[in-house]
Amino acid sequence: MRALLRLFVITGILGGFVVGCSETDSAVEPAPTLEEAAAPPPSVSSVPALTEEEAERAEFQYFDRCSGCHGALRKGATGPNITDEKMLEKTLAELEETIFEGTEAGMPGWGRTGEMTQAEAELMARFVQNPVPIPPEMGLEAMKATHQVHIPVSERPGKPEHDRNIDNLFGYILRDAGKVAIIDGDTKEAASVFDTGFAVHIFRASATGRYFYTIGRDGKLTLIDLFQEKPQVVAEVRVCLDARSVDVSKYNGPKGDFVDKLAIVGCYWPPQMVIVDGQTLEPIKVVSTRSSTYDTNEYHPEPRVATIVASHFDSEWVVAIKETGMVWLVDYSDLDNLQMTQIATERFLHDGGWDATKRYLLIAANMRDQIAVVDTKEKKFVTKFETGTKPHPGRGANWIDPEYGAVSATTHLGEGLIAVYGSDPENHPEHAWKVVREQETAGPGLFLKTHPESNHVWTDSTLSKDEGVNQQICVFRKDDFDAGPKCWKAADHGKVVHFEYNKAGDEVWASVWDKQGEIVIYDDKTLEEKKRITADWLVTPTGKWNVYNTVHDIY
């Protein structure tokens, strides 16, 4: 425990992009039988010894690379249960090989990809055979102790102090450097590079487009003011020990004007959501997500928040609770009398986003190989359907198919496949929520992307274990999807990951993810490379978000 607490200090926790998971479904462990409860614990001599320094290193490594899939308590979600009781059933040699080489079903070989040495894989094998260190909780008082407002609202400029096109600015994650960059999409120059949280997972833009919010794996939330002469962090707070998601309030209607007034953070640990002031990030309210699974009604100690989006129909955030399979509609119009609608969908919810109408949440229940559909206007579950092995759409991709009308699509963690499905129940009910087209890609990937002004769908193969394939890009034509993709190698080092369009929809930006990172910019119409950005500050670039596309939920 002492080493774990030091870990949180090291990572800035008390002061995305984790990828790859194993194939085993991971329902909540059933209560032990009387015989099991009475059985003696594993012999102390069978548990591998760890020095205090080794435990400290292993805890950080687990947090950085493993907890996203296996959970802080190691009970599993997208990845399987890897508690010490389970891991003592394996030999150290077997565990070390799995960690170093990976699995066929999606867990990366951390040694093969260069993230772990053989010695580090051996250390992790010993670590997971030791008892699980229980992370501390984090309440409102601890959060407020981390809260800082660097520039008060009254001292912020009333209009931009520069002549950049704010709509075409990009927020760019520099994952392992603990930094982000704001890049001018017109000039391709970095407007600002600065420290944020450890391993930032996403950017979200405020409804007005003035601010960017970032959330890091260490639970640190930052507020970036794009009106400043040089964009900078104007407020920050730490609301979790591990986090992935954030969104803002966008509603302006009969219940009041909440535009940019509030923000919500979804935590992995502690399992909770936190509502903060949208202008200062002062923590306001904490809501635990600990509850029972939708199907078996068994209590779950670690239901983590996955996707969050802001409803376009009401003063609500749409919050997906990963392990319990619930989608919560959280009404932020009266925080003193908080109301929520809880919708049962499917377990192990992960990434997702809107259909083209922004009415339906389309979210992957990836360990069940399904997409779940929630109607946020009628506030009810619609359906779920299978697509392929471990769907992972990111926020997804929407376009008009020449035969099936409005469609949406997902890539997959477990296989090189794009599944396209109908998403227009009003005009094409016969195709709605059914897979209508499938095409193979170069290999398992994380993201796909398109734009209303484009005829192309871009996808990566970041998780492929074949030599060089994770450096490829594949592009499909919307008007001839069945012709298959055009694929090419975009880099000779690192992994190519994540795409974003500029505001006009005629450029696509891709990341080369390693310590000698690159940004590769393509002409969307010709697929020709327009520019390749390299710089000392480009350390492990991953996700990026265009202001205009993020404000308007264009994907």
Residues annotated catalytic, as ranges: 66, 69-70, 107, 350, 392
Contacts of 524-532 with CB under 8 Å at 24 or more apart are: 524/451, 524/454, 524/456, 525/455, 527/456, 527/475, 527/486, 531/188
- 267 by Cβ neighbours in 10 Å (0-12 / 13-18 / 19+) ranks as buried
d(CA 285, CA 455): 44
Beta bridge partners of 149: 235
Q: Is 495 helix (H, G, I), strand (E, B) or coil?
A: strand
| Percentages (nearest 5) of helix, strand, coil residues in the chain | 15, 35, 45
- Show the CA angle centred on residue 442, arms to residues 436 and 443, nearest 5°: 85
d(CA 353, CA 283): 26
Residue 317: both structure tokens together: 């955030």
d(CA 531, CA 519): 8
Helices (H) and strands (E) in the chain, counts: 9, 37
d(CA 315, CA 267): 21
Residues in the chain: 555
Closest by CA to 421, choosing from 439, 446, 443, 445, is 439
- Concatenated DSSP letters of 389-412: SSB--TT-EEEEETTTEEEEEE-B
Cβ neighbours for 280, distance < 8 A, ≥ 6 positions apart: 149, 152, 153, 223, 235
Phi and psi at residue 344, in whole multiples of 5°? -75, 130
Q: Report the Cα 21 to chain-centroid distance in Å.
A: 14
Q: Which helix (H) or strand (E) holds 310?
A: strand 305-310
d(CA 123, CA 86): 17
DSSP 285: E
